[in-house]
Amino acid sequence: MRITLSTLHKMMRDGQKISMLTAYDASFAALLDAAGLETLLVGDSLGNVLQGHESTLPVSLRDMVYHTQCVSRGAKRAFIIGDMPFGTFQISPQEAFRNAAEIMAAGAQMVKIEGGRPMLDTISFLTERGIPVCGHLGLTPQSVHQLGGYRVQGKAEDDAQRMLDDARILEQAGAGMIVLEAIPAALASQITAAANVPTIGIGAGVDCHGQVLVLHDMLDVYPGKKAKFVKNYMKGAGSIQEAVALYVKEVRDGTFPGREHSF
Ligand code: KIV
């Protein structure tokens, strides 16, 4: 039976950690599904790891629809989240709805939108019309040029306060989940304690309700420089299945991420 957003909210309330990895094709989606991951993210990180771009900015709606279709054919149980690519949700809530609807029709059960307060109207518009939305705060890769690089966010007191406020605002707008990327573990812990929806961390410490990594990073097949928060699960593993099983176990028992993967 398909995992739903209600299943994930219940896991949060019961104190059970949620495991997520990115997936872009049917074969890996089936493998991750069989490994018991609760959620798969069709991330626009496919721009980096599949297409070889330096950022996620060139990823199109067409790319996201295609890869979401592939993943949804492979995964029968996991909850599937599709990223809204750069330029498809910023102009108006109406346009965002039209584009999100394509990702949902491709097989996603939720869309992910990067950004805080400025996304409030769009998130309300989508969630009031039946499209679940996952927020994404902290290091938002689509804003890499605005942020001046892939840097840890929320270190200064005023930035940290803004992120705490943004998390509350996203939740009030209807976001059903929030990804926290590359922020101090203590800040993620505060956001998580105040949240009534699951927080999923990537470089945000162990206190989040769940964890996500980019599949090609944790399998050590991406040739680029690795972020501090990435753990190479292929090290010592006899197979991809074994590596993924260890990731799921470590997320569930709280041994990943360790202090060495956190800020
Ligand atoms: O696109 C992606 O893979 C993501 C994760 C890094 C959270 O947004």
- pLDDT tens digits for range 39-68: 999 999 999 999 999 999 999 999 999 999
Which listed residue (171, 181, 242, 250) is catalytic?
A: 181
Confidence band of 225 (pLDDT split at 50, 70, 90): confident
CA dist., res. 217 & res. 224, Å (int) = 9
First CA to last CA across the chain, in angstroms? Answer: 37
Q: Whose CA is nearest to atom 8 of ligand 1?
A: 43
Residue 200 Cβ < 6 Å to ligand 1: no
- Compute the average pLDDT of residues 230-248: 98
C-alpha atoms less than 13 angstroms from C-alpha of 32 in its C-beta half-sphere = 33
- pLDDT above 90 coverage of the chain, percent: 98
Identify the three-state secondary structure at position 260: helix
Backbone angles phi, psi at 114, to 5 degrees: -80, 140
pLDDT at 96: 98
Q: Is 181 a catalytic residue?
A: yes
96-108 pLDDT, tens digit per residue, is 999 999 999 999 9
Q: Assess whether the C-beta atom of 64 lies below 6 angstroms from ligand 1.
A: no
Q: Give the pLDDT of residue 12.
A: 98
Q: Is the CB of 178 under 6 A from ligand 1?
A: no
pTM of the model: 0.98
Which ranges of the chain would DSSP assign to H, the alpha helix?
Answer: 5-13, 26-34, 46-49, 61-74, 93-105, 120-128, 144-147, 157-173, 185-194, 215-218, 240-253
Atom of ligand 1 nearest to the CA of 212: 7
Query: Cis (ω within 30 of 0) for the bond into 257?
Result: yes
